[in-house]
Structure 1
């Protein structure tokens, strides 16, 4: 066995982070830095008026976005995406943009970064049907419309009864494959099953870009 293979084997058998910490305070996201924590979930309940508005938007008006921006321009980027997709000017549109901006700032502060890779994905299909680990330091996910992301420790991924799910509107910060720690990340996640009656899903994805 080569030195590289020995190192890889030692890493796979070494300490693993698979714990999920959940709370109703946004500061819970910072706990992703704690030993053994593979994901931190802010369990928040969307404002009923906002949820009613975003669920009622026509599919072709849901904003899509893929960009890399300084964190302070995340809100502006979402506003531009809303404008280009014909999202009507209203208080709820401002709420969506400001919420994305706030979440981008939380990620930036937690990971000490200045640039973020920002995505708003609209899909009626299952985007990532298999449990996986993202090839990033960490990834923030929030389902504004549709079901939340599913997750499970890798050692019990075959047990369907052990699968858990981020609530709609909840914010989850998952460690990725490139997390800078001696702990390997042993928590997997995937997109939820899509159903015709659920309609298109609007998912926010934020990654560190520096």
Structure 2
């Protein structure tokens, strides 16, 4: 059963986002590092300037049984809302289909909401949970937000690039419309999060990123190979 974690014990927690400033070096920060760990406390490392993404690597265990059944019983499931952890838990409990280990799955989603809210001192969180049968964002891009939590409960995990493998002026409008690999260096490598991984990705609006957020995209999905994807945003 998922256990609560007190991220408030980290000295990185509860830093005023507006108070973060880039050092007066005149240089853009080199967000080259991605930190991974099997311990949930790694998520607090997102406050370090040289870290662009923090990944909590974990197995889903029995939760996988429910997530697979959800793909079958509710292939068009979509939930998008914002509110307190208690409110989101209540709404999801009403909407999620019955099934073995449903409560375990709901407890896990609520745990992630609580951790995200604790880490950034939020009263409310924006939550999106949906089954995907196609790539939601198939091209490499950077989110225009401070930070987002993502996790895949079933199917392929999100794909991302190390900073050294990115050509940023080829992202977005600078890329080729039909080329989903636009922005990837010709000798670069595409990385993929695993099922169950919980990742915090800095976006372009993180105070010290200066337009160098994590470059990522949605993996391919189909009616035969669906995904169950969760994302959490600051409100």
TM-score by length of 2: 0.74
Match of 2:202 among 154, 175, 191: 175
Unaligned 5+ residue runs, structure 2?
A: 1-23, 167-183
Structure 1 residue ranges (4+ consecutive) displaced by more than 4 angstroms after TM superposition: 10-13
Unaligned 5+ residue runs, structure 1?
A: 1-9
Report the Cα distance in structure 2 between the residues aligned to 1:111 and 1:182, rounded to whole angstroms. Answer: 17
Deviations 1:159-206 (A, max 9, x none): 4752211110111110112212265434211111225542x2110010
Report the Cα distance in structure 1 between the residues aligned to 2:42 and 2:215, rounded to whole angstroms. Answer: 20
CA contact (8 A) 1:116 1:208 kept: yes
Distance apart, 1:76 and its partner CA: 1.9
3-state DSSP of counterpart to 1:17: coil
Distance apart, 1:15 and its partner CA: 1.4
Match of 1:41 among 55, 67, 74: 55
CA contact (8 A) 1:154 1:186 kept: no
CA contact (8 A) 2:81 2:128 kept: yes
CA contact (8 A) 1:17 1:183 kept: no
> Which one has a larger percent strand, Structure 1 or Structure 2?
1
Q: Corresponding residue for 1:101?
A: 110
CA RMSD after TM alignment: 2.4
Q: Corresponding residue for 1:206?
A: 232
1:56 aligns with 2:66: no
Distance apart, 1:118 and its partner CA: 0.5
> Which one has a larger percent helix, Structure 1 or Structure 2?
1
CA contact (8 A) 1:177 1:184 kept: yes
